[in-house]
Amino acid sequence: MFDYKFDWAIVTSGQYFEWLVSGVKITLELSAVSIAFSFVIGLLIAVMRMSNMKPILWFSHAYLEFFRNTPLLIQIFFWYFGSYKILPHGVNDWLNARDFEFAAAVIALTIYTSAFIAEDIRSGVRSIPKEQMEAARSSGFSYLRSMQYIILPQAIRITIPPLINQFLNLTKNSSLAMTIGVAELTYQARQVESYTFKGFEAFTAATLVYIAISVVITGLVTLYSKKVLSPMGVR
């Protein structure tokens, strides 16, 4: 018969609660840093993907195909166990003197997510009438200036909802960082379970936190769509 005694106190007070709070902070920090870098790199790759220069086009295409079709967990392990083979010694020494596990997770999450972000931004750019680019070029703007001042501001506004979804996926994917010892939320929930054998309570608490983050982000996307996109006639 089912006679399990729930003990929610372990996740609402005391040392184990502090562990979970610490895990939430690391999760948010890891996600925020990775989101910032992945957006910048994704934007750069998107612009390169639309270039007429063959070497740049080939590089960006290879970047997208490789990282979009490689499991994130493999990429995390690669940067954690193999990065010292390809990064300069000075960079490795600098990372090892700090939190190398955190840095490896940021690199993997950034590169993986930026490949998806690049395609979202490229789709947004393609939705802008090509006449706008032609008008900008005929007015004396270079290709990069036309993208910077005319095309990208409109495209990014349109692609905010899918971009937010990518950021949400990144936040959830950050749980994989526990495999290399990053003490984020899932790692700390596992620690609580190991010390207390209260896995149901520990992982229920972690699940509720992830759901709360997802609800907040989804709410922001919905609000943005109603307040910004709808007046523009975008659905």
Stretch 151-164: mean pLDDT: 85
In 3-state terms, what secondary structure has residue 184? coil
Our count of domains for the chain comes to 1
Please report whether residue 3 resides in a domain. Answer: no
Predicted confidence at residue 235, as pLDDT, reads: 47
Instruction: Return the percentage of the chain with pLDDT > 90, whole number.
Output: 52
User: With pLDDT > 70 as the criterion, what percentage of the chain qualifies?
Assistant: 95
DSSP 121: H
Q: What tokens does 74 get?
A: 């493999």
Joined together, the tokens standing for residue 5 give 């005694």
Tokens of 181: 């010892």
Residue 159 domain flag = yes
User: Quick check: pTM over 0.85?
Assistant: yes
Query: Do 112 and 72 form a contact (C-beta atoms < 8 A)?
Result: yes
- Report yes or no on 2 lying in a domain: no
Residue 1 domain-assigned (yes or no)? no
Interval 12-18 mean pLDDT: 91
Q: Once rounded to an integer, what is the mean pLDDT over residues 45-71?
A: 92
Residue 232 pLDDT: 54
Residue with the bigger pLDDT between 107 and 222: it is 107
Cβ neighbours around 82 below 10 Å, total: 11
The CATH number of residue 133's host domain is 1.10.3720.10
Other beta carbons less than 10 A from residue 141's beta carbon: 16
Question: What would the two tokens of residue 197 be?
Answer: 């054998």
Residue corresponding to tokens 């990429």: 75
Q: Which of 129 and 63 is assigned the larger pLDDT? A: 63
Q: What is the mean pLDDT of residues 54-78?
A: 94
Range of the domain at 211: 8-232
Q: Is residue 32 in some structural domain?
A: yes
Confidence of residue 217 (pLDDT cuts 50, 70, 90): confident
84 assigned to some structural domain: yes
Contact criterion met (CB below 8 Å) for 120 and 163: yes
185 inside domain: yes
**Does residue 142 form part of some domain?**
yes
